[in-house]
Structure 1
Amino acid sequence: MVSKTTSSALSNASFVLAALTAGGGAIGYAKTGSVPSIAAGGLVGLLYGLGGYRIANGQPYGVELSLLASVVLGASAFPRAIRLRKPVPIFLSILSAYGLFTFGTALRRA
């Protein structure tokens, strides 16, 4: 079982990632009118938010949902970061890598 301190840190990380990805999707839509940006940002943000909620409330599969969000984000961001070498895909790749490390480590230790 995950300690309360670890659980709090994991849920906070998940909520921050939810806000960053959902907010980024909304900004991408506002700047360029990109529907895929808002859809992807909303979906990944929802997964992170739901994962954080479940972690905070001691419910099962919270860490797994946040890890899934990191995998989905990374699957999209890493190839674009390598191909385009632009700041937004690179930033999304860093967020994904952080999530993969954080939630992957937590899952492995559980």
Structure 2
Amino acid sequence: MSLETIAYVLATLTAGGGITGYARTGSIPSIAAGLTVGSLYGLGGYRIANRQPYGVELALLASVVLAGSSIPRAIKTAKPLPIGLSLLATYGLFNFGMAYANRTR
């Protein structure tokens, strides 16, 4: 799977998760976080697809933000949603981290 496809899938999943969290609980922070992280992934994917600078870095930033917020919550609560978000973040960290490390200078 290409990096831009991974970014677009993660954008959809995180934004959809924020919207779902808002729909279920009425949580404004949930929708704000989901849409913000989803937008970072989407913008990163767009920039990767168009060979513009900082696409991989934006997607990596989104993964770091998602991991920073979801992994501690997954450890603390052991609920399925934070665990799923942690897995998505880890997947993004691996893919975009490898792409960042292997970029040509």
User: Do both share a fold (TM > 0.5)?
Assistant: yes
Percent identity, aligned pairs only, is: 66
Q: Secondary structure at the match of 1:58?
A: coil
- Pick the aligned partner of 1:83 from 48, 69, 76: 76
- Distance in 2, matches of 1:53 and 1:64, equals 12
- Distance in 1, matches of 2:77 and 2:29, equals 17
1:24, CA displacement in angstroms?
Answer: 0.5
The TM-score with structure 1 as length reference comes to: 0.92
The TM-score with structure 2 as length reference comes to: 0.97
1:56 equivalenced with 2:49 (yes/no) = yes
The 5 A counterparts of 1:31-46 are 31-46=24-39
Aligned AA (1:46): S
Q: Which runs of 5+ in 1 are unaligned?
A: 1-7
Q: CA RMSD in A?
A: 0.7
Q: Which runs of 5+ in 2 are unaligned?
A: none
Q: Which runs of 4+ in 1 moved over 4 A?
A: none
- Residues 39-69 of structure 1: CA distance to partner in whole angstroms, max 9, x if unpaired? 0000000000000000000000000000000
Number of residue equivalences: 103
